[in-house]
Amino acid sequence: MKNENKIKLSAGDLAPDFIVLSDEEQHVTLKQFLGKTIILYFYPKDDTPGCTTEACEFSAHYEKLYKKNIVVLGVSKDSTQSHRAFKKKFNLPFLLLSDFDGKICQSYGAWGTKTNYGKAYEGLIRSTFVIDSKGIIQQAWYNVKAKGHVEKVLKTLWKNTGNDLD
């Protein structure tokens, strides 16, 4: 699956809608969360060191995000079964979405060429999007480092909303 379009979304763009299965085996669309702020983050693989760090950092802030009407959605190409196991192992309180065919990854520009130990290959690019209550992207990050990224997201949310998340 090559990302020939080299899509990169940015602030002001309409967030692409999707329909996909969650870890709970329910169909989920972006539209069902309109009216709330959405943190949509893409990660390469369940239960790997960086992905676990990122998921657990989102989980640590989940309650205060939830109280501010902010939804967290994690997306990878892993199966719903893999998502359930990952979610249970780390007690993750938010939905994990199974983009098994990579269509969501492509529509958000989260699929493309990556380099690891000097080798180039196609893969999921760790990316995060803050989407406002009307479905407009407020912030997009690509090629993020897992550790500490959630703090950057929280600072952006605070700046955009004008109030602290504590």
- Please tell me the distance from the alpha carbon of residue 87 to that of residue 129, in angstroms, as a whole number: 21
The pLDDT value recorded for residue 2 is 46
Question: Which pair of tokens denotes residue 27?
Answer: 């169909």
Q: Is the dihedral of CA 4, 5, 9, 10 positive or negative?
A: positive
pTM of the model: 0.91
Question: Which pair of tokens denotes residue 145?
Answer: 């480092």
Outline where 10-147 has alpha helix (H).
Answer: 49-60, 62-67, 80-90, 103-107
The pLDDT value recorded for residue 4 is 46
Outline where 47-165 has alpha helix (H).
Answer: 49-60, 62-67, 80-90, 103-107, 149-161
Strand partners, 3: none
Q: Would you please indicate which residues are annotated as catalytic (active-site) residues? A: 51
CA torsion 22-28-29-35 (nearest 10°) is: -110
Q: Which residues contact 78 (CB under 8 A, 6 or more apart)?
A: 45, 46, 86, 96, 98, 100
95 and 36 Cβ atoms separated by less than 8 Å: no
Residue-wise pLDDT tens for the chain (166 aa)? 444 446 899 999 999 999 999 999 999 999 999 999 999 999 999 999 999 999 999 999 999 999 999 999 999 999 999 999 999 999 999 999 999 999 999 999 999 988 878 888 899 999 999 999 999 999 999 999 989 899 999 988 887 665 565 5
**How are beta strands 27-29 and 19-22 bridged, if at all?**
antiparallel
Strand partners, 164: none
Domains of the chain: 19-160 (3.40.30.10)
